[in-house]
Amino acid sequence: MNSAEMKLEIFRKLDSLDNAKIKDFYGLVLNFVNGQKAIEEWDILTEEQRQGIIDAEEQIKQGKGIAHSEIVDKYKKKLMNA
């Protein structure tokens, strides 16, 4: 099956879906496309940047993360006192 035939088949299947399934399909396609971009972005990071991300994920898994709301509150207070 060539690419034109695949596109036509996808369109036919998509055209037969109800609204809820169309929304699901749309989400899947966006996740796939964005996932591909994320992989490409990972590939252009330096080894040091990659290791920093991996280390941060490990710290979060170990419960060493700081909640977003805590960070926001901290810097709001700093800005208010500046």
Cβ contacts of 65 within 8 Å, gap of 6 or more: 59
State both tokens at 66: 């700081």
- Note whether 34 and 56 are same-domain residues: no
Give the model's pLDDT for residue 48.
96
- Note whether 4 and 40 are same-domain residues: yes
Full domain range(s) for residue 20: 1-44
- Note whether 11 and 30 are same-domain residues: yes
Give the model's pLDDT for residue 56.
93
pLDDT tens readout for residues 21-59: 888 888 888 888 877 666 778 888 899 999 999 999 999
| Terminal Cα-to-Cα distance of the chain (whole angstroms) | 65
Give the model's pLDDT for residue 36.
66
Number of domains into which the chain is organized? 2
C-alpha atoms less than 13 angstroms from C-alpha of 71 in its C-beta half-sphere: 4
**Contact indicator for 76, 82 with CB cutoff of 8 Å:** no
pLDDT over 70 at 14, yes or no? yes
- Note whether 53 and 39 are same-domain residues: no
- Note whether 1 and 29 are same-domain residues: yes
State both tokens at 60: 């979060």
- Note whether 54 and 72 are same-domain residues: yes
Mean pLDDT of the chain: 88
Instruction: Give the global pTM.
Output: 0.43
